[in-house]
Structure 1
Amino acid sequence: MREVVHVRQQGAYDGDVLVVGGGIVGLSTAYAITRAAPGTRVTVLEKEPGPARHQTGRNSGVIHSGIYYRPGSLKARYAVRGAAEMVKFCAEYGIAHAVTGKLIVATDRDELPRLHALVQRGRENGIPVRELGAAQIAEYEPEVRGLAAIHVGTTGICDYTAVARQLAEASGADIRYGARVVRIDRRPERGVAVRLADGGIVRARVLVNCAGLYCDEIARLTGDDPQVRIVPFRGEYYELARPELVRGLVYPVPDPAFPFLGVHLTRGIDGGVHLGPNAVPALAREGYGWGVVRPREALATVAWPGSWRIARRHWRYGAGELRRSLSKGAFTEAVRRMLPAVREGDLVPAPAGVRAQAVLRDGTLVDDFLIKEGPRTVHVLNAPSPAATASLPIGREVARRALAALGAA
């Protein structure tokens, strides 16, 4: 039986909007609410001792241009708009960033039609793209080899953890760290009460769920059916011991049948070059290595029918990703397709990340942002890459829905 956390009468709220999750989307939402409706009392609950400890702080740090995404999709609209806004935000607050541009490189003839399709998609999304022949690649990356490439000028890099900290500060919200949610009681006529692991209770008129890897579980705690399951995929990285081999950002042509971009080369804001990520199933939602296993979470993933359908549909792709996870040599082979000068000894293990991939019951990988609403609740149920890039416009959209729910409460 679900424990009930009683909601007190009107006027006894601790705040107006309660945001669960202190990653970049949750903090952008808090920032957008207080900008759009000054005086709104916002509380952010984050279970970790600081912000951006998971997806926000464990990615490549890339400001994505939006070239990959279907014109008209939320990802395309938010990424194109968000990239320009993120650069402006970083400049305004003195956060380390750079607009570097990037190369997308075709290394096999069957990739050439897909590369051309990306040129067309980029132009439809209003993104400046330059087509390059094999000899022109060296203008940007002397050590990179390919049959053809495109240069995307609006791509950049930044420090997303610093962005998250600045959003928290600038929002003026009450940010509570070490606040893990264990129970939620929602009464449509009276509000939402949340019990924390330390026994504390926080009450608000509206709840916004930006819990990332646990967003589906938070949705179920409110009594809403998310109709998706978060299936965690670990992305493993190496750092390049010879960073002088790569000047900027170099990507392969992505496989449109799978929502991951493949192993790419990324010079970060600190000057180091990361190689990766691959994409393998994680045995815990925060499973940053094969040794991290949480049986309840792993069994829940296995029990979801969509997980088995993914495995049947993508087993060949998955086998390649698993091979690169278990074999440093195989990972090096993937890098050498674009960067032939690299050697296995040049790869130094780096921290991994985990992607919160929403999966439907039929095995469909949710490709776009997914935001659903319930009584007094707004749930962000899928925030894939480019969520960090697009966090400012996403935050405004979630804030708009939260304020509408607040007005109707």
Structure 2
Amino acid sequence: MHYREREVTRVAYDCDVLVIGGGIVGLSTAYALTRAAPGTRVTVLEKEDGPARHQTGRNSGVIHSGIYYRPGSLKARYAVRGAAEMVKFCAEYDIPHEVTGKLIVATRRDELPRLHGLVQRGRENGIPVRELGPAQIVEYEPGVRGLAAIQVGTTGICDYPAVARRLAEVSGAEIRYGTEVVAIDRRPDRGVAVRTARGEVLRGRVLVNCAGLHCDRIALLTGDDPGMRIVPFRGEYYELARPELVRGLVYPVPDPAFPFLGVHLTRGIDGGVHVGPNAVPALAREGYDWGTLNPAELAGTLAWPGSWRIAGRHWRYGGGELRRSLSKRAFTRAVRRLLPAVTADDLIPTAAGVRAQAVLRDGTLVDDFLLREGPRTVHVLNAPSPAATASLPIGREVARRALRSLTSPN
């Protein structure tokens, strides 16, 4: 009797979970995966030659309290929780950090209602807030002037690149630097295969997309429509030549229509004081200056309807930001609202950052962290500031979703 045996194809997986992106969120996810499910094989793919080369390594190093964020939102919950966890993590691994507190200062009368709103929001989020008058502002910051302020005690500073390096070391994951993903083949019954720029093929049961500035592109490669696009905004910083003018952290009252906090003063772990950032459109996803242009990426930004809708709604605000980018004198005037003694000569240009801002088709700037799932895939689609502060709770949530996908039948 003759019969034909049915061919059985067996898939050899290189790991259980492939994480794309070696910033602080991707590394926190790897760290959470191996702790929640010991024995889980995790591989992190990072296109740069080290961790935290973009958003994580190019911010002002602030451990945010969570005061700005809508009560009940992921940003509010994860920032409040994450700030305490970040301080604990830094202490455990001897990473430079300090809980400094910060001032949020109103310099105009029309800012006072918004400042009082922040007091209420802080209380709803469980954050200790102290209200200050002009004389009390000077007690905290002799060089700062304002009509009123609030002091937020749980804000701090740390070395986020050092945090990312330590997460990579203790995560238990395999970290592959210099590994850029250029193609993805996802099949619900056979996991996910990725091809790198060097032609390697790696297979995992589940894919986690923590690609930051490129997260929408990675989502599209999997076959998922993310429903948003990353519109990159560059934040330009100066270093204060006279750091003695500022003791700690000083912020303006933010405009609630935007996810940007305005030009602020931040004394870092190294003792220097950063001034900034502004927020201007970048001409490339990694466009850290006006001279960096990626025509394909810029064309993609301009082709997204949401980009034009932002411009139409907020051209006046954007015009002010562009002026401050192109004119040091205009930038100095913005700083002098908080710190009257500062001069243009006190501001020394330093490294800029680019915010990976998710924008919906209708022009809405996504205000909260945005996590989406597809078959065998978890996407982190909006994780700008305060994502570094909130990275440990975000990592746990992403890991929870990835493990649920890992154990599901399809």
TM range (shorter): over 0.9
Offset at 1:78? 0.2
C-alpha distance in structure 1 between counterparts of 2:286 and 2:353, whole Å: 8
Match of 2:336 in 1: 336
Distance 1:193 1:204 in 2: 6
**1:1-400 mapped onto 2 (5 Å cutoff):** 9-400=9-400
CA distance 1:194–1:9, shift in 2 (3 Å)? farther
Deviation digits for residues 306-358 of structure 1 (CA, Å, limit 9, x no counterpart)? 00000000000000000000000000000000000000000000000000000
For 1:384 and 1:179, the matched residues in 2 are separated by: 23
Distance in structure 2 (CA, Å) of the matches to 1:247 and 1:358? 34
Answer yes or no: is the 8 Å Cα contact 1:74–1:368 preserved in 2. yes
Aligned residue for 1:339, secondary structure, equals coil
* Aligned 8 A contact 2:103 2:151 in 1: yes
DSSP 3-state at the match of 2:237: strand
Deviation at 1:384, TM superposition (A): 2.1
Superposition deviation, residue 258 in structure 1: 1.2
Q: Residue 222 of structure 1: CA displacement?
A: 0.4
What code does the residue aligned with 1:348 have?
I
State the Cα deviation string for residues 126-177 of structure 1 (Å, max 9, x = none).
Answer: 0000000011001110000000000000000000000001111111100000
CA gap 1:10/1:134 in 2 versus in 1, 3 angstroms? farther
The alpha carbon displacement at 1:110 in A equals 0.3
RMSD: 0.8
Q: 1:210: Cα distance to partner?
A: 0.1
Deviation at 1:9, TM superposition (A): 4.8
Work out whether residues 109 and 147 of structure 2, in 8 Å CA contact, stay in contact via their aligned partners in 1: yes
Instruction: Give CA-to-partner distance per residue, 1:68-98, whole Å, 9 cap, x none.
Output: 0000000000000000000000000000000
> Which secondary structure state, in structure 2, belongs to the residue aligned with residue 302 of structure 1?
helix
| Structure 2 gap ranges (5+) | 1-7
Q: Which amino acid aligns with 2:201?
A: I
Deviations 1:221-267 (A, max 9, x none): 00000010000000000000000000000000000011100000000
Distance 1:287 1:192 in 2: 31
Q: CA deviation at 1:10?
A: 4.3
TM-score between both structures, scaled by the size of structure 1: 0.98
Distance 1:165 1:385 in 2: 19
How far apart are the structure 1 equivalents of 2:97 and 2:277? 21
2-structure distance, mates of 1:11, 1:100: 52
Structure 2 SS opposite 1:18: strand
Q: 2:5 is matched with which residue? A: none
Q: Is residue 367–residue 384 contact of structure 1 (8 Å, CA) maintained in 2?
A: no
Any unmatched runs of 5+ in structure 1? 1-7
Give distance in 1, aligned partners of 2:100 and 2:26: 27
Whether the aligned pair in 1 keeps the contact of 2:220 and 2:226 (CA below 8 Å) is yes
* Aligned structure 1 segments of 4 or more residues deviating by more than 2 angstroms: 8-11
Show CA shifts across 1:168-215 (max 9, x none): 111110000000000000011111100000111110000000000000
The answer to whether the Cα contact below 8 Å between 2:55 and 2:384 also exists between their aligned partners in 1 is no
Q: What is the deviation of 1:385?
A: 1.1
Query: Percentage identity across aligned positions?
Result: 84
- 1:24-78 Cα offsets, whole Å, 9 max, x none, are 0000000000000000000000000000000000001000000000000000000
Q: CA–CA distance in 1 between the matches of 2:110 and 2:138?
A: 22
Q: Report how many residues are paired.
A: 402
Task: Write the distance in 2 (CA, Å) between the matches of 1:360 and 1:197.
Answer: 29
Cα distance in structure 2, aligned partners of 1:248 and 1:341 = 16
| Separation in structure 1 between the aligned mates of residue 127 and residue 325 of structure 2, nearest angstrom | 34
AA at the equivalent of 1:328: K
State the alpha-carbon separation in 2 of the partners of residues 268 and 313 from structure 1: 35
Larger gyration radius, structure 1 or structure 2? 2
3-state SS in 2 of match to 1:393: helix
2:238–2:348 CA contact under 8 A, matched in 1: yes
CA distance in structure 2 between the partners assigned to 1:134 and 1:110 by the alignment: 16
- Sort the Cα spacing of 1:9 and 1:293 in 2 relative to 1 into closer, same or farther, 3 A: farther
8 Å contact from structure 1 (residues 224, 374) kept in 2:
yes
Residue 3 of structure 1 corresponds to which residue in structure 2? none
Instruction: Render the CA deviation track for 1:354-400: whole Å, top value 9, x for unaligned.
Output: 00000000000000000000000000000021100000000000000
CA displacement, residues 270-300 of structure 1 (integer Å, 9 cap, x when unaligned): 0000000000000000000000000000000
